[in-house]
Amino acid sequence: MVTEPATSSSAPILAAGHGFTAGVRAMFWSGVSNDRIVIHQCLAMLLPLLAGLMMYGWRAAGAVATVVLTALLSGALWQHVGRRGSWLRPGQLLPLALPVALMLPAHLFARRLEMEGAGLITVWPILPAAGLTLVVCCWLMGFSHRGMAVLLTPLLISSLFGAAMEPQWVLKRSHAFLGDLLDAEPAPDEARTTGWHEYADTSDRAALRTRPSAARLTAFTTGVDRPERSWLSMEHVIRDELAPLENLFLAGEPGPIGTTSAVAVVIGGLLLIYWGLSDYRIPLLIVVGALLALLVLPVPVVVTEAGPQWRWLAFRADAARWDVAVTFANYQILGSPLLFVALFLAPAASLRPLGRSWRAVYALLAGILSAAAQLYIDAATGPCIALLLVALLTPLMDHLRRSRDPG
Amino acid sequence: MRDLPFICVGMEAPAASEPVAAEGSTATASAIVAFLHEHGLSIDRWACPDLSEQLRLALTRGVDVVLCNALDSEPDAPLSATLLRSCRQDVLRGLRAVAAAVRAARCLIAVGRELDPAVFPTSRRAADNPQVVRLLSSYPQSHPTLLIQTTLHRALLPGRLPTERGVLVIDAPAAFVLGRWVGGFQPVAVPLCVRDDRSAAVTLALSLPRLTVGDLLARLGLAMDRQTVLICGPKLRKQQLPREAPVGAVDPVLRVCRIVAPRASDICTRCNWCADICPVDLLPMMALEAAQFGDARAAERAGVRRCIACGLCDYVCPSRLPLMAAVQLGQAQLRAGVSGD
């Protein structure tokens, strides 16, 4: 694994030493510069951002701007700290700060917040803290591991400010883009069962407050929600407690700004693949690996007052059939930031291995571990934890990479 | 050669060949080497490593296959394809003459898939001589290391002669020259493809081998100034050519290019595009780092020995880093280390 970046100052020396004039070198070049790559990466993230702005309004814009600006300002300071900081320039930090901002919820763009079970919490420092944490992580980990910093930042922020991090708000369709996310009323039963785009608004409040699917899934799979003198089946959770699947696929679910609309994330990711900035095999294998693992790994098909009843191969259990098991897996994939992580973060060069075959191993491992982390730790942070763990193995995979040796 | 799309430079248009029988000629390897030497034909280039040396080694070590490399490195300079379409008999005669001279049991000709199958139908039988292999002629497939790997599944380290693996590689222009000589046609003429990138014009020419490249360009009406540069071979290799070089000693694909204003390199962003595109799986960014620190062991780990100098890493690098130069520097460091030992 290479540890330090090549410096620009060495380039002319090498070129001059080998009889290439700089002009001749410049003649045959693809024309795809680093600036163009950054622009394309940001353009691809524009779609999830737009979906977030639609669902979470101006607070989402404020949250993204706060994280990005804090990161850029911190970078301007930290780039003077030692040699490690020299690369922390706006062009390098922008594509790192943007995904971090998209993985945070929009309600953090507020001064204080009344959170269920935690009382009044001061939340305004969280977004600047995220920007600063990203830059400090980048500085500590170095340029080669900048992808790790992107994964680590939301995890650190979640663990530090856990009580304030659960997204519970989403704008009503009639207040999309412009409404105040925190001007909310509790979601009525009708809002839970009908799709976001179909829900008929009767009050003048801008938003609905409801529990996100990721939190409900985590509560079910970890056995936190235990019914008294009764039992809770997987089918019951899917039918009565989770939002319609179309909310997760299109829009209308409380969640992080950029990860909730699966369709926006997928289109953004496909743009990256189309522009040649991403290897399509990685997201594909991550999703396939996660889907298979979610069908195979032990899940609680029923939760009783005594605790969850775990079953391998849930689709073969009496309490959960094929359709229930597959729907449950779909909820796990769409309710978590798995698609965002798979399409925007996992293919990053600073995380993935060099060898193509090892990339397949990396992606499958990330998918399987993500499913396990979602089931047994937390659906909202599981994909980031999984990718972080698998990325730690990347140097080993690069070491084991065997080249075709012609001779 | 009035019916052929070649402009004759410095000579009268020679007569076109008539189809001849497959048995060809009885030229020996020594006679071929002497012929090359006598006419100043130094055939040592991207698609055909040192032909004279290959012939010498073939006599001592023996080869079982003669492989004609008729793939064009770039579609905008279709010299081999034109030779196969227009002078197939000359190419085949030259190929058979070489095969007979080195007593090779098999004779292969690698042609591009885009070539009309009617010109060169794919061989169905192993007994066909030469056996036609159709390949996707995407750059850098025409490099002998990749060509031998693809067609014969034999591994050849770049920079080594194919005869080490029992193969003699000859490209279509060289086979054409030998075929004309064996057929008794005079004068000895070298086929060339000159592409002017300023106007995208392609000129196919036949020239006397001792004519200089500068004279050739002048006679073809291609003016050069300080803003233009002449390169030979695949363009991504950026191999500059002096105008005094004789036509018989250079790669037959010449390119007149306008020099572009250089732009400063950026730092390496670890995008790994160079490693992804490398056809021989080396790590150019690691070679650059090794070159910076003069670390021969790191250069070895980066795999610089395997480099075929195709220049694809330079082409894709978004930071415009001199990766090919770094790899070549790493190779030089390794050579120095070996000789120092």
A271-325: per-residue pLDDT in tens?
A: 999 999 999 999 999 999 999 999 999 998 888 887 888 888 888 777 778 889 9
Identify which of B258, B260, B288 has the shortest CB distance to residue A6. B288
Say which range, A304-318, B117-131, B174-188, B282-296, has the weakest mean pLDDT: B117-131
Q: Which residues of A touch B316 (CB under 8 A)?
A: 30, 32
Give the dihedral of Cα atoms A338, A339, A345, A347; nearest 10 deg.
120
Say if residue B124 is exposed, middle or buried (CB neighbours under 10 Å; 0-12, 13-18, 19+): exposed
pLDDT for the residue numbered B225: 84
CA atoms within 13 A on the CB side of B61: 17
Please give the average per-residue pLDDT across B61-72, as a whole number. Answer: 93
Q: Strand, coil or helix: what is A211? A: coil
Q: Under an 8 A CB cutoff, do A25 and B149 touch? A: no
Residue B165 DSSP code:
G
**Dist. CA A192–CA B47, nearest whole Å:** 68
Q: Strand, coil or helix: what is B234? A: coil
Percent of chain B with pLDDT over 90: 48
Q: Under an 8 A CB cutoff, do B269 and A92 touch? A: yes
Q: Which residues of A touch B315 (CB under 8 A)?
A: 28-30
**In what helix (H) or strand (E) does residue B332 lie, and over which residues does it extend?**
helix B323-340
Q: What are the pLDDT digits (tens) for B206-259?
A: 999 999 999 999 999 888 888 888 999 999 988 888 889 999 999 999 999 988
Residue among B95, B87, B107, B84 nearest B32 (CA): B95
Q: Under an 8 A CB cutoff, do B236 and A28 touch? A: yes
Identify which of B156, B289, B326 has the shortest CB distance to residue A2. B289
Q: Under an 8 A CB cutoff, do B283 and A2 touch? A: yes
- Among A92, A279, A399, A403, the strongest candidate for a mutation testing the B interface, having the largest count of B CBs within 10 A, is A403
Altogether, the residues listed in chain A come to a count of: 407
Q: Which residues contact B8 (CB under 8 A, 6 or more apart)?
A: B1, B14, B189, B205, B206, B207
ipTM exceeding 0.85, yes/no: no
Neighbour count for residue B334 (Cβ, 10 Å): 17
B18 φ, ψ to 5°?
Answer: -100, 150
- Among B270, B292, B293, the strongest candidate for a mutation testing the A interface, having the largest count of A CBs within 10 A, is B270
List per-residue pLDDT tens for chain A, 407 residues long: 333 344 444 443 343 334 445 556 667 888 899 999 999 999 999 999 999 999 999 999 999 999 999 999 999 999 999 888 888 989 889 999 999 999 999 999 999 998 877 788 999 999 999 999 999 999 999 888 899 999 999 999 999 998 899 999 999 999 999 999 999 999 887 777 788 888 877 788 999 999 999 999 999 998 887 776 678 888 888 888 898 999 999 988 999 999 999 999 999 999 999 999 999 999 999 999 999 999 999 998 888 887 888 888 888 777 778 889 999 999 999 999 999 999 999 999 899 998 888 999 999 999 999 999 999 999 999 999 999 999 999 999 988 875 544 44
Give the dihedral of Cα atoms B210, B212, B213, B218; nearest 10 deg.
-120
Q: Model confidence at B14, in pLDDT bands (50, 70, 90)?
A: low
Query: How distant, in Å, are the alpha carbons of A129, A370, A388, B118, B203 from that of A382?
Result: 22, 5, 10, 59, 62
Single-letter amino acid, residue A164? A
Percent of chain B with pLDDT over 70: 91
| Distance in Å, alpha carbon of B200 to nearest chain A alpha carbon | 15
Q: Which residues of B touch A26 (CB under 8 A)?
A: 259-263, 320
Q: Under an 8 A CB cutoff, do B292 and A6 touch? A: yes
**Dist. CA A25–CA B314, nearest whole Å:** 8
Identify which of A2, A19, A21 has the shortest CB distance to residue B286. A2
Asked if residues B324 and B309 have their Cβ atoms less than 8 Å apart, the reply is yes
What the block records as the tokens of A138 is 């980048």
What the block records as the tokens of A375 is 């089931």
In the numeric block, the tokens 């998918």 are attached to A367
pLDDT for the residue numbered B341: 43
Asked if residues A285 and A367 have their Cβ atoms less than 8 Å apart, the reply is yes
pLDDT for the residue numbered A11: 40
Q: Strand, coil or helix: what is B157? A: coil
From B150, which residue of chain A is nearest by alpha-carbon distance?
A406
Q: Model confidence at B338, in pLDDT bands (50, 70, 90)?
A: low
Asked if residues A106 and A165 have their Cβ atoms less than 8 Å apart, the reply is no
Identify which of A8, A21, A406 has the shortest CB distance to residue B267. A8
Neighbour count for residue A296 (Cβ, 10 Å): 16
Q: Which residues of B touch A33 (CB under 8 A)?
A: 266, 318, 320
Asked if residues B180 and B97 have their Cβ atoms less than 8 Å apart, the reply is no
pLDDT over 90 at B173, yes or no: yes
Q: Under an 8 A CB cutoff, do A92 and B259 touch? A: no
Q: Which residues of B touch A138 (CB under 8 A)?
A: none
Q: Edge-to-edge strand order for the sheet containing B65-70?
A: B131-135, B106-112, B65-70, B167-171
Q: Which residues contact A220 (CB under 8 A, 6 or more apart)?
A: A232, A234, A237, A241, A300, A303
A105: β partners: A256
| Distance in Å, alpha carbon of A117 to nearest chain B alpha carbon | 45
pLDDT for the residue numbered A369: 98
Q: Which residues of B touch A4 (CB under 8 A)?
A: 289
B225: β partners: none
Q: pTM above 0.90?
A: no
From A31, which residue of chain B is nearest by alpha-carbon distance?
B318
Using an 8 Å CB-CB cutoff, list residues of chain A that contact chain B: 2, 4-8, 10-12, 14-15, 17-30, 32-34, 36-37, 87, 92, 143-144, 349-350, 354, 403-407
Q: What are the pLDDT digits (tens) for B92-141?
A: 999 999 999 999 988 999 998 888 777 777 665 655 678 888 888 789 99
Q: Which residues contact A94 (CB under 8 A, 6 or more apart)?
A: A38, A42, A68, A72
Identify which of B155, B291, B325 has the shortest CB distance to residue A406. B155
| Distance in Å, alpha carbon of A179 to nearest chain B alpha carbon | 40
Say if residue B58 is exposed, middle or buried (CB neighbours under 10 Å; 0-12, 13-18, 19+): buried
Q: Which residues of B touch A34 (CB under 8 A)?
A: 266, 269, 318-319
